[in-house]
Amino acid sequence: MSESLSVEMLSTIVLWLFLFSPPAPGAPTPPPSSLQGFKVLPQDSLKSFRLMSHKQDAHLEIIRVQGQPFQKVFRVKTHKKPAKIYHIQLNAKIPASIEKEDLLFLTFYVRGSRKERTSPEMEFVFERAGGSYKKSIRFPCPVSSSWEKMEIPFLAAERYNAGEAQINFRLGFDPQTVEIGGIDLINYKKSAALNELPMTRLTYLGREEQATWRQQALKRIDSIRKSTLHVLVEHPDGKTISGAQVHVKMLRHAFGFGSALNGRFFLSSHESSNGKMYRQIFLELFNKAVLENSMKWTFWKKGGKEQALQAVQWLREHDIPVRGHTLLWPAWNHLPESLLPFKNNPAALRQQIREHVVELVSTFRGQLVEWDVLNELYANHDLTDILGLRSIVEWFHLARQTDPTAQFYINDYGVLNDTVDSRHLGQYKKTIQYLLDHQAPLDGIGVQGHFDWELTPPQQLLQNLKPFVAFGKPIEITEFDVDITDEGLQADYLRDFMTAMFSHPAVHGIMLWGFWEGVHSSPRAALFRRDWTLRPCGKTWIDLVFNRWWTDERGATNEEGRFVTRGFLGNYELEITYQGETKRIFTSLPKEGREIKVVF
DSSP string over 528-551: B-TTSPBPHHHHHHHHIIIIIT--
E strands, 331-465, are 370-375, 407-412, 444-451
What are the two backbone dihedrals, phi and then psi, of residue 189, each rounded to the nearest 5 degrees?
55, -125
Query: Same structural domain for residues 64 and 11?
Result: no
Contact 564, 202 (CB under 8 A): no
The whole-number average pLDDT for the span 56-75 is: 94
How far, rounded to the nearest angstrom, does the alpha carbon of residue 338 sit from its chain's CA centroid?
A: 32
576: in domain: no
Asked whether 444 and 474 are in contact (CB, 8 A), the reply is: yes
The number of distinct structural domains making up the chain is 2
Percent of the chain beyond pLDDT 70?
Answer: 94
Same domain, 467 and 509: yes
Mark which of 190, 213, 239 sits at the end of a domain: 190
In three-state secondary structure terms, 492 is helix
Residues 12 and 63 in one domain: no
Q: Is the pLDDT of residue 88 over 70?
A: yes
CA–CA separation, 427 vs 430, rounded Å? 5
Say if residue 450 is in the same domain as residue 356: yes
Q: What is the 3-state secondary structure (H, E, C) of 84-97?
A: CHHHCEEEEECCCC
- Domain containing residue 125: CATH number: 2.60.120.260
Please answer whether residues 455 and 490 qualify as being in contact, where contact means their C-beta atoms are separated by less than 8 angstroms.
no
Contact 525, 483 (CB under 8 A): yes
Residue 407 maps to a domain: yes
Evaluate whether residue 461 is within a structural domain.
yes
Mark whether 13 and 56 lie in a shared domain: no
Q: What is the pLDDT of residues 341-376, one digit of tens each?
A: 999 999 999 999 999 999 999 999 999 999 999 999
Element at 128 (helix H, strand E): strand 121-128
Q: Is residue 438 one of the residues assigned to a domain?
A: yes
Determine the average pLDDT of the residues in 524-545. Answer: 98
- Domain identity same for 91 and 52: yes
Region of 131 on the Ramachandran plot (φ > 0 left; ψ -120 to 50 alpha; else beta): left
Q: Which residues contact 303 (CB under 8 A, 6 or more apart)?
A: 264
115: Cβ contacts below 8 Å, ≥ 6 apart: 175
Does one domain contain both 11 and 52? no
The phi and psi torsions of 354 (rounded to 5 degrees) equal: -60, -45
Instruction: Specify if 31 maps to a domain.
Output: no
The range of the structural domain enclosing residue 91 comes to 38-190
Residue of 36 and 600 predicted with greater confidence: 600
pLDDT band, residue 392 (cuts 50/70/90): very high
**Is 28 part of a structural domain of the chain?**
no
More confident residue, 261 or 418: 261
Task: Answer yes or no: are the C-beta atoms of 31 and 278 closer than 8 Å.
Answer: no
* pTM of the shown model: 0.89
Question: Can you list the alpha helix ranges (DSSP code H) found in 413-561?
Answer: 422-437, 458-469, 487-502, 536-543
pLDDT tens column, 3-46 = 444 444 544 554 444 444 443 444 445 666 667 899 999 888 89
Please name the amino acid found at residue 8. Answer: E
- Alpha helices for 389-421 (secondary structure H): 390-402
| % of the chain at pLDDT higher than 90 | 87
Residues 6+ apart with CB under 8 A from 351: none
Q: Do residue 84 and residue 119 come from a single domain?
A: yes
Mean per-residue pLDDT over the chain, rounded: 93
Residue 77 per-residue DSSP state: E
Whole-number pLDDT of residue 13: 52
Q: Which amino acid is at 372?
A: D
Q: Are both 65 and 13 inside the same structural domain?
A: no
Three-class HEC string of 323-343: EEEEEECCCHHHCCHHHHHHC
Prior bond of 326 cis (ω within 30°):
yes
25 falls within a domain? no
Q: For residue 476, what is the domain's CATH number? A: 3.20.20.80
Amino acid, res. 261 = L
- Residues 582-599: what's their mean pLDDT? 98
Instruction: Please tell me whether residues 113 and 182 are part of one structural domain.
Output: yes
pLDDT tens digits, one per residue of 191-241: 988 989 999 999 999 999 999 999 999 999 999 999 999 999 999 999 999
Helix (H) or strand (E) holding 259: strand 256-261
Indicate whether 12 and 76 sit together in one domain.
no
Radius of gyration of the chain (CA): 27
Confidence of residue 118 (pLDDT cuts 50, 70, 90): confident
Residue 510 to residue 200: CA distance in whole angstroms: 30
Q: Residue 394 and residue 397: Cα distance in Å, rounded?
A: 5
Same domain flag for 145 and 43: yes
Amino acid (one-letter) located at 153: P
User: C-alpha angle 465/467/468, rounded to 5°?
Assistant: 65
At 375 the pLDDT is 98
Is residue 566 one of the residues assigned to a domain? no
d(CA 133, CA 137): 11
